[in-house]
Amino acid sequence: MFYREAGDFKTTYRDDGQTFPIKLDRLGYYAILFVAALVIPFIINDYWANAILLPFLIYAVAAIGLNILVGYAGQVSLGTGGFMAVGAYSVYKLMTAFPDVSIIIHILLAGGMTALVGIAFGLPSLRIKGFYLAVATLAAQFFLVWLFNKVPWFYNYSASGQINSPERTVLGWAVTGPAASPSAKYIICLLFVIFAAWVARNLTRGTYGRKWMAIRDMDIAAEIIGVNPLSAKLSAFGVSSFFVGIAGALLFAVYLGAAEVTEAFGINKSFLVLFMVIIGGLGSIFGSFAGAAFLVILPVFLKNVLVGTLGWPTDLAAHFELMIVGALIIFFLIVEPHGLARLWRLVKEKLRLWPFPH
Amino acid sequence: MKLKFTALAAAAMMAAAPAMADLIVPNLSYRTGPYGAGGTQYADGFNDYFTLLNERDGGIGGEIIQVPECETAYNTEKGVECYEATKEGALVFNPLSTGITYQLIPKVSVDEKVLYTPGYGRTSAKNGKVFEWVFNAPANYWDGASVAIKYLLDENGGDLNGKKIALVYHNSAYGKEPIRTLQELGEKHGFELMEVPVEAPGQEQKSQWLQIRRDQPDYVLMWGWGVMNQVAIQEAANIRFPMENFIGIWWAGSELDVQPAGDGANGYKSLTFNGVGTDYPLYDDLQTHVIDTGKASQGGEHVGSAVYSRGMYAAVVIAEAIRKGQEMAGTSEITPAQLREGFEQLEMTDERLVEIGLPDFGPAFSLSCANHGGNGMARLQQWDAEAGQWNLITEFTEPDAEILDPLIAEDSTAYAAENSLEERSCE
């Protein structure tokens, strides 16, 4: 009823292979894009941008990146925080060293830098997997954070070891620094989110995506049918780190504006993004968005309800927030171990048959 | 799912918007997380003083002060969220976190809100020509470092040549702040500085203290906060480091830090810029109007503790600045810009402290357009484990301006250049 396939005929393979094969889905997707790109920028205010939408978009990019590695290629990583730090510090060094180059190029270069670092730390994945690989990437997390805290060159020898993002513009609009308007910051993040989701979606359903999934499902079998594990695993690390680096660069330059590596990119970040991927749904682009929304928006929402509406003391609310989010995570994983994306898929399937289930 | 969330969130946000009246002084506090113990006491002191003014005097100049609280958990992202959530109509922010302060410095300059960071934050914000909206009186970290060294100079007959001083610091922006100053002071006075970083939050310090035991520094300075302090003091007691040679910054000088070590902490010293205990006339009013009426934050269980007193002191200075701003603007409903004027003309004299009921509680200082940090005076206190209290052991001491002024000029000019800011002229 809600999802009607009747009358929606596919006459070419191209039609059949599109991302949103159902017309209603496709329309919904265009509608969301339209609202996100052409409505929200005009009505957004500081609070919505800085407290809700920017973190949501940026973490969605990070979750997409990690989902490629963990969800599609099956390589467990706990180094996300460290790789985000690489993105942040690369963009900082580039911004301060080449102030005249567009920030968009810097962010992409920061992603590229992170990809190289990610590939380097992905090398052990050729020999080890599972928990052992998680420990190896955990080493990357601690090493990178230690490096950025230890070597003053990375923070331009500032007295306190903090990095600050100076003002940079795109087409004359400030997108970093304090003077940037909420809509400018939002649009730049939205651009990168759309770019990341589009690239990731198309990579994962092409040759590389199939190689990754083959490696994930059974690496020896994949090798026998002709998948080169070296190129498959390292490309997964590279692409994943590229997006994670972009997320780190955006987090520092556009969202926070100042960062301290131990605080902003500690092990907690790695866990947060990993939880987003697990709760959203492994191996799903939509799941990355759903997971990011769940872990970014829900705590803010709970805080506003508990403190703002119900008037609870802030500490009580903060503790309850942790408990509620934790309980919900457990609940979701019991009810639907494949994450919110799977839940959404089930709902869609039900709706397609409604009201005549068979 | 997502749409529903946002719709609900929107509804909640509408309800959460503060009423647009009175003077709003948000309290970006943290009562949870690794630093929650100290953050709680500070927030209580901050709240209680404004409650007292509201209850006893009907606010300041007839305007009730609202202190909406927002929990940051000492986390910069939550701090940004809190700032955005409370900034509408707010006059001044005091986030009690160097990390959050760094996030907010550029933002407050654009939003035109006052940022008051007593004893923490960016040291070079003292230069009001560059940091128009930021105030860090009465003292900053570099003042603290200098006052500590001055005290050691006094102890040693004015000569620290050949001495070895270790700095045990929280390995973050906060802990790194004094290093440059101490290096310069080391060159001037001929002592050797030994840097001993401790990773956040600071429970793990065994190897650091083994190093200290091996290298035998004459003195240990500590820039710590939260759980790091009590672990450090316990470890120092374990290696039998002489406690009277161990000096913490003011954030490493609360009861919470020394009590866990018991008698081992006896003689530990720390810097401070505010008095502690309840032997001040103001506490009688606080008792009558706030604690007895049950309006005290958290029931008033921390009244008189070192960190509570520091939170209260921050509220006292803000209240005085509001008063000054009202006086200058000729209206009681002041804007943040008028409050900034009030801060810039603020004079905290000893007489005024007596009037408030807090004689000798803080240093006398005055601010100006160019000087947002006062004269940086601090004093030392020493822990008496048997009596369970801090005793003040020196008078307010001025730091060594000869070393600090060029450093502040250098750092603030670098900030201005990095962000292409024009220095204000201060005539």
Q: Do B200 and A262 touch (CB under 8 A)?
A: yes
Q: What residue type is B393 in one-letter code?
A: I
pLDDT digits (tens, 9 = 90+) for B127-171: 999 999 999 989 999 999 999 999 999 999 989 999 999 999 998
What pLDDT was estimated at residue A347?
Answer: 87
Which residues of B, range 27-46, sit inside 8 Å of A by Cβ? 29, 31-32, 36, 40
Average of pLDDT values for A224-245? 95
Residue B258 is which amino acid?
V
pLDDT at B229 over 50: yes
3 state DSSP class of B387: coil
Nearest chain B Cα distance for residue A238, angstroms: 28
Q: Give tens-digit pLDDT for B46-94.
A: 999 999 999 999 999 999 999 999 999 898 889 999 999 999 899 999 9
Q: What span, in angstroms and rounded, lies between the C-alpha atoms of A326 and B306?
A: 35
Question: Are B174 and A300 a contacting pair at CB < 8 A?
Answer: no
CB proximity B15 to A under 8 Å:
yes
Name the closest residue on chain A to residue B200, using Cα atoms.
Answer: A262
Model confidence band, residue B14 (pLDDT cutoffs 50, 70, 90): very low
Q: What are phi and psi of B299, to 5 degrees?
A: 75, 10
pLDDT band at A254 (very low <50, low <70, confident <90, very high): very high
* Closest by Cβ to A177, choosing from B6, B106, B414: B106
* Chain A neighbors of B110, CB-CB under 8 A: 178-179
A252-274 in b/e form (b: 16+ CB < 10 A) is bbbbbbbbbbbbbbbbebbebbb
Residues B367-390 have a mean pLDDT of 93
- Gap between the Cα atoms of B198 and A21, Å rounded: 56
Is the CB of A162 less than 8 angstroms away from the CB of B173? yes
3-state secondary structure at position A110: helix
Whole-angstrom distance, CA of residue A265 vs CA of residue A83 = 9
Distance from C-alpha of B76 to C-alpha of B99, rounded to nearest angstrom:
6
Q: How far is B179 from chain A (nearest CA, A)?
A: 8
Residue B3's pLDDT band, with cuts at 50, 70 and 90, is very low
pLDDT tens digits along B23-46: 999 999 999 988 889 999 999 999
Rounded to an integer, what distance in angstroms lies between the CA atom of residue B336 and that of residue B107?
Answer: 14
Q: Cβ B76–A256 below 8 Å, yes or no?
A: yes
* Element counts in chain A: helices (H) and strands (E): 17, 4
Report CB contact under 8 Å: A256, B36. Answer: no
Instruction: Supply the ipTM of this predicted assembly.
Output: 0.87
Residue of chain A nearest B177, judged by CA positions: A160
pLDDT in tens, B284-342: 999 999 999 999 998 888 999 999 999 999 999 999 999 999 999 999 999 999 999 99
CB contact under 8 A, A300 and B81: yes
Q: From the candidates A160, A169, A269, A305, which should be mutated to test the interface with B, based on the most B CB atoms within 10 A?
A: A160
Cβ under 8 Å to A: B residues 56-95: 69-71, 73, 75-77, 80-81, 84-85, 87
Nearest beta carbon to residue A161 from set B69, B176, B200: B176
- Residue A266 pLDDT more than 50? yes
> What pTM value is reported for the model?
0.90
- Give B75's contacts in chain A (Cβ within 8 Å): 263
pLDDT number for residue B274:
92
For residue B19, pLDDT over 50 is answered with: no
Angle at B92 between CA B301 and CA B294, to 5 degrees: 25
Nearest to B71 among A51, A162, A317 (CB): A317
Residue A124 carries which DSSP code?
G
Q: Taking CB atoms and an 8 Å limit, are B9 and A301 in contact across chains?
A: yes
**CB distance B9–A304 less than 8 Å?**
yes
Q: Which run of H or of E encompasses A149?
A: helix A131-150
Average pLDDT over residues A245-251: 96
Which chain B positions have a beta carbon within 8 Å of A258's beta carbon? 76, 102-103, 105-106
Question: Which chain B residue has the Cα nearest residue A99?
Answer: B418
- DSSP 8-state secondary structure symbol assigned to residue A254: I
Determine the residue of chain A that is closest to B87 in CA distance: A47
State the smallest CA–CA distance between residue B125 and chain A in angstroms: 13
Residue of B71, B99, B180 with shortest CB distance to A263: B99
Q: How far apart are CA A190 and CA B231, in angstroms?
A: 45
Query: Rounded to an integer, what distance in angstroms lies between the CA atom of residue B13 and that of residue B9?
Result: 6
Token output for A325: 């989010």
Under 8 Å CB pairs connecting chains A and B tally to 139
pLDDT at site A8: 77
Between residues B235 and A21, the one the model is more confident about: B235
Distance from CA of B32 to the nearest CA of A (A): 6
**What is the pLDDT confidence band of residue A9, given thresholds at 50, 70 and 90?**
confident
Confidence label for A354 from pLDDT (cuts 50, 70 and 90): confident
Are B99 and A260 a contacting pair at CB < 8 A? yes
Which of B71, B84, B106 minimises the CB distance to A47?
B84
Q: Dihedral sign, CA of B151, B172, A143, A101?
A: negative
Question: Residue A69's closest CA among A221, A250, A228, A283?
Answer: A283
- For residue A355, cis peptide bond before it (omega within 30 degrees of 0): yes
Mean pLDDT score of chain B: 90
What 3-state class would DSSP assign to A283? coil
pLDDT at residue A327, as a whole number: 93
Map tokens 């929606």 to a residue: A8
* Residue B16: pLDDT band with limits 50, 70, 90: very low
With CA atoms as reference, the chain A residue closest to B97 would be A263
Interchain pair B419, A55: CB under 8 A: no
Q: Is the dihedral angle over the CA atoms B381, B382, B386, B388 positive or is it negative?
A: positive
Q: What is the CA radius of gyration of chain A?
A: 21
| Cβ(B2)–Cβ(A290) below 8 Å | yes
pLDDT of residue A333: 84
CB < 8 Å to A44, chain B = none
pLDDT, tens digit (0-9, with 9 covering 90-100), for A71-89: 999 999 999 999 999 999 9
**Cβ pair A301:B103 closer than 8 A:** no
CA–CA distance, B343 with B324 (Å, rounded to integer): 7
pLDDT at A351: 83
Position B255 pLDDT exceeds 50: yes
- Distance of residue B102 Cα from the nearest chain A Cα, in angstroms: 6
pLDDT, mean of residues A4-26: 82
Residues of chain B with Cβ-Cβ distance to A308 below 8 Å are: 12-13, 15-16
Per cent of chain A over pLDDT 90 is 61
What share of chain B in percent tops pLDDT 90? 75
Please give the average per-residue pLDDT across A175-192, as a whole number. Answer: 91
SS3 label, residue B60:
strand
Output the CA angle B286-B291-B294, nearest 5 degrees: 145
Q: Is A204 helix (H, G, I), strand (E, B) or coil?
A: helix
Asked if the C-beta of B406 comes within 8 angstroms of chain A's C-beta atoms, the answer is: no
Q: Is the pLDDT of residue B377 over 50?
A: yes
pLDDT band with cut points at 50, 70 and 90 for residue B21: low
H or E, element range at B84: helix B76-86
Distance (Å) from the alpha carbon of B393 to chain A's nearest alpha carbon:
30
Q: How confident is the model at residue B200 (pLDDT cuts 50, 70, 90)?
A: confident
Residue of B nearest to A317 (CA): B71
* Distance of alpha carbon B2 from alpha carbon A291, whole angstroms: 10
Interstrand relation of B389-392 and B164-170 (parallel, antiparallel or unpaired): unpaired
Residue B325 has φ and ψ, to the nearest 5°, of -65, -40
- Max Cα–Cα distance, chain B, nearest Å: 71
Q: Minimal Cα–Cα distance from A123 to chain B, Å? A: 28
Q: Give alpha helix (H) positions in B169-254.
A: 173-176, 179-189, 206-215, 227-238
- Closest residue in chain B to residue A146, using alpha carbons only: B199
B344-360 pLDDT, tens digit each: 999 999 999 999 999 99
3-state secondary structure of A218: coil
